Amino acid sequence: MLVVPRGKIYKYSLSKSELSLELAKELEKLFKFGTERFYGAQADPIAAVTADKYADHLRGMLGYMVNVLGEDIESLSLKTLVPSADRDGVVPAFNYTQWLVKERQIAARTELLVLRSILYCAKFLYHDQSQVVVGSGDRPYADVAVVRELRALINSRRRASKIAPRVSDEAAKWLDYPAYLAMTRELKRETGCLKESASGEIVRRSDKDIAWSLQKYLIFAILGCVPDRQRTIRELKLGRTLFKEGDAYVIRHKPDDYKTGKAYGERAPLYISRSLTCALDEFIHTYRSALEPSHDFLFTQSNGEPLTDKSLYKVFWTTSYRLTGQRLTPHYVRDVIVTHLRSQENASERDLEALAIYMGHSIAIQKSTYDRRSLKEKVEPAIKLLERLESL
């Protein structure tokens, strides 16, 4: 999210309810194509959560066609996005991403996600035209020209993303780790049963109010000790991914339960701090029912539905902004923790490698993506080392 002023931003993406019946059916077929095994498939299925994210970006491009280019929504299909299998089929995608960069000021990393979504769509549309034999050494769909062109764009943007400056004002949505912990302690204080009424009288809060406060505290506190992706929080389910073992709760993931599961397989257990055991017990056994959830996930929206990425994002930035003036996002907690630990002089390379594995990525990704220290901060140890050499 950009937090620097840049004028009024209008919505252009199509919501699911705005899709024509034919478009909705096409997106359903696309979902099955990506997430289910079938004879002749050139790649393994992707996770449902990934397919949903790709569909979000495709609805963004469809909305651009309608709300920016003025296309009739009833005339749209997925082929509008990638109209042919030859090289020229990439033109709408190129024009759309150029518009996103210029008008919406998206970062290179976001542009990458958009292009990957369109590539996914192209594979679906022109699957029958590909004669690639799986295991032959050729990349999937390498004989489809538009796929090759999209991959070339992706490779170009990937190189650019490695050196591109971040679009948003980092200082406007950044807390260091001690400040994050202080915010979490304040959220814990807000879980109390009593409050002062408008007349100054001390009264008991409703179970629902206490449940909301307790849920917010637990979300922030769990991410503070288990620096994982927001999907982990949304999909916590007792007996499925969340287990109580002795006097502590543990998160256990199978390969399909987290983003990089295909690369790393079954994951090492993620241990929630024992200091949260009592609060989790209290939420699960006493207060969660007051929120009237319509599902088995641990945390819920105010309407009883499961948390979505957008609803969790909103809880995070509104709560952090209220308490600190900073608009934090769930994913930033990973950055906060990595940055804090990499700035510690006593953190060994072995420690940092273990943290990377624990967080479900490589040490290279830890350095390139999650370490938010400035260039000056990163080279400071070298400066001190050279100063010591000079004094010898």
Query: How much is the mean pLDDT over the chain?
Result: 84
Q: Which carries the bigger pLDDT value, residue 117 or residue 386?
A: 117
Q: Tell me which of 331 and 189 has the higher pLDDT.
A: 189
Nearest C-alpha neighbor of 365 from the set 328, 335, 330: 335
Alpha-carbon dihedral of residues 117, 230, 335, 98, nearest 10 degrees? 20
**What residues does CATH 1.10.443.10 cover in the chain?**
176-324
Question: Under 8 Å CB-to-CB from 257, ≥6 apart: which residues?
Answer: 235, 241, 267
Question: What are the pLDDT digits (tens) for 40-85?
Answer: 999 999 888 889 999 999 999 999 999 999 999 999 999 999 999 9
Domain 176-324 = CATH 3.30.70.2190 = no
Q: Per-residue pLDDT averaged across 320-328, rounded?
A: 90
User: Does residue 342 surpass a pLDDT of 80?
Assistant: no
Report pLDDT digits (tens) over 347-390. Answer: 666 666 666 566 654 555 544 454 554 555 554 554 454 455 55
Phi/psi at 389 (5° precision): -65, -40
Reduced to 3 states (helix: H, G, I; strand: E, B; else coil), residue 102 is: helix
